[in-house]
Amino acid sequence: MTQSRTVEHGVHPIFVERWSPRAYDESSLTEAELQTLFEAARWAPSAYNAQPWRFVYARRGTADWQKFLDTLIPYNRGWAQHASALIFAVSAQAFVPPGKTEAINTGSQSYDTGAAVAFLVLQASLSGLSAHILTGYDKEAVKKALALPEGYAVESAIVVGRRGKADALPPELQAREVPTPRRPITALVSEGRFASKDA
Ligand SMILES: Cc1cc2nc3c(=O)[nH]c(=O)nc-3n(C[C@H](O)[C@H](O)[C@H](O)COP(=O)(O)O)c2cc1C
């Protein structure tokens, strides 16, 4: 962990030690390693327990790998091509609440899918893997690559792999291959009434 991450209050190290590298070692991931990540995501909370998240993945070395990579903007493709798996998180837009027959849109599907993705990347960290969420892709190309039906929205991609050497990255990315700091809690939290410290 670098100096850039200072912890104000004791929390489990998993929260602070997770970060999003861009250097990966081109190794393979087993199906079991990936399924462990989806298992963690499965236990995320969601409105109505609707569990609107869906994941579609491609592993390095399979027929789908290049197709998935090609949907990323060149900046992201440049480093993500060295990872081991590329996962797209999509959300279901319709949900039939228990006891009802008509589908509703909970309005929480993106929020809930974000929670599931957070669980997934924390599990990656616990599993000794690295993960990097991104939204720098061509959304229409993603829909096409996944053969995504109507009623589902693309939320994010998660690049997963094992950390590689930073010096294999282009110079501008080498400088960014470190954990980022965070705003102080006092800038984000207030008691009783809203008091953001945004400039
Ligand atoms: C919704 C979302 C979209 C992101 N999109 C990109 C992206 O397109 N390219 C990229 O390199 N990083 C992307 N990131 C990574 C963030 O820059 C990173 O999470 C943030 O700087 C905090 O750093 P950390 O994850 O290492 O703690 C994205 C993260 C999130 C949550």
| Per-residue pLDDT, 199 | 66
The C-alpha atoms of residue 92 and residue 151 are separated, in whole angstroms, by 6
Are 125 and 157 within 8 A, CB to CB?
Answer: no
pTM: 0.97
pLDDT digits over 112-141, tens only?
999 999 999 999 999 999 999 999 999 999
Q: Comparing C-alpha atoms, which of 121, 111, 94, 133 is closest to residue 38?
A: 121
Look at ligand 1, atom 28, and give the residue with the nearest C-alpha.
134
- Give me the residue label for tokens 């109505």: 48
Radius of gyration of the CA atoms of the chain, in A: 18
Closest Cα to atom 13 of ligand 1? 134
Question: Which mutation among 79, 110, 132 tests ligand 1's pocket best, with the greatest number of atoms within 8 A of CB?
Answer: 132
Task: Give the pLDDT score at 83.
Answer: 98
73 CA: nearest ligand 1 atom: 8
The pLDDT score that the predictor gives to residue 67 is: 98
- In ligand 1, the atom with minimum distance to the C-alpha of 156 is 1
174 lines ligand 1 (CB under 6 A): no
pLDDT of residue 4: 81
What architecture does CATH give domain 13-173? 3-Layer(aba) Sandwich (3.40)
**Residues 163-179, mean pLDDT to the nearest whole number:** 95
3: pLDDT confidence band, cut at 50, 70 and 90?
A: low
- What is the distance between the alpha carbons of residues 182 and 57, in angstroms, rounded to a whole number? 30
Q: CB of 179 closer than 6 A to ligand 1?
A: yes
Domain definitions of the chain by residue range = 13-173
